[in-house]
Structure 1
Amino acid sequence: MSLKDNNQEFGLLATPSQWRMQGLRGAITVNHNSVEAIAEAVDELLDALETNNSLDFTEIVSVTFSATSDLDAIFPAAVARRRPGWNKVPLLDVQQMQVVGSLELCIRVLIHLNTPLPQNKLRHVYLRRAAQLRPDLSLLS
């Protein structure tokens, strides 16, 4: 079976040459280091990314979360894994590189997804104090 036939069988509108893996970024700050505060922030960030990008978890290839060293109450990926469908997405947590004067209490995310959208059509999301990381991309919350 050809790729074209395979796409038609599964009802895909775009051909494989129109789909690309793209990177979607986001970040949010947390009020304090607790399970509840981290969970609230991760859910807010993922909700905003999903809403602003019509994100479909079945198109996600992998997700990497980074957290500053002052956040250790729960893994951000553990929060994401609780979301419907996200338990099938490969998730990874890493510690953000420590740089003097950098933003504290911050969770960042990089989502690799397959999409027919070009990179410039994706809406990156920077919330709360993380908006200062990329003022050109931040959403008011």
Structure 2
Amino acid sequence: MDWRVRAIRGATTVTENTAAAMREAVSELLDTIEAHNQFDPSDIVSVTFSVTRDLDALFPAAIARERPDWDNVPLLDVQQMHVPGSLERCIRVLIHLNTCKPQTEIHHAYLRRAQSLRPDLPVAQLSLSAPIR
């Protein structure tokens, strides 16, 4: 077994800047990533969340910290660089983890309106059967 640090990317959007909307979206995103990548939280090296400047109701890391076995995961929240015309109310995540899976077996999750961020990925990889919101 050849263990390496790999990265999982994902993003989602919310319809409004509320704690409830952010909690729902971040939970859905992390549930999707975990379900399709089958990793143990103890293998996570670190997780960075970024949010667009129009989201400030809640830290995504606070939501992640409540997940089972995520209490010792190093988490960081940052504000995404603003580019005029870019996707609004967007939450992105970058998860670094130790795994023996090759990069080709890592599944990234782009949900809701964030699917537009990665038109180069196959639809199955983008949505992982999640609805667009």
The TM-score with structure 1 as length reference comes to: 0.86
Rounded Cα–Cα distance in structure 2 between residues aligned with 1:107 and 1:72: 11
The TM-score with structure 2 as length reference comes to: 0.91
Rounded Cα–Cα distance in structure 2 between residues aligned with 1:84 and 1:116: 22
Secondary structure of the structure 2 residue equivalent to 1:138: helix
| RMSD between aligned residues | 0.8
Q: Does 1:106 align with 2:90?
A: yes
Q: Does 1:75 align with 2:66?
A: no
CA contact (8 A) 1:34 1:74 kept: yes
CA contact (8 A) 1:49 1:55 kept: no
Rounded Cα–Cα distance in structure 1 between residues aligned with 2:65 and 2:59: 10
Query: Can you give the 5+ residue segments of structure 1 that lack an aligned partner in the other structure?
Result: 1-13
What residue identity is the alignment partner of 1:63?
V
Match of 2:50 in 1: 66
What residue identity is the alignment partner of 1:60?
I
* Count, aligned residues: 125
Q: Does 1:30 align with 2:29?
A: no
Rounded Cα–Cα distance in structure 1 between residues aligned with 2:104 and 2:78: 26
Secondary structure of the structure 1 residue equivalent to 2:91: strand
Alignment of 1:12-23 (within 5 A): 14=1, 18-23=2-7
Query: Can you give the 5+ residue segments of structure 2 that lack an aligned partner in the other structure?
Result: none
- CA offsets, 1:75-122, max 9 Å, x none? 000000011111110000000000011000000000000000111110
Q: Does 1:116 align with 2:104?
A: no
Larger Rg: 1
Match of 2:36 in 1: 52
Which consecutive aligned stretches of 4+ in structure 1 deviate over 6 angstroms post-superposition? none
Q: Percent identity?
A: 60
Rounded Cα–Cα distance in structure 1 between residues aligned with 2:82 and 2:109: 22
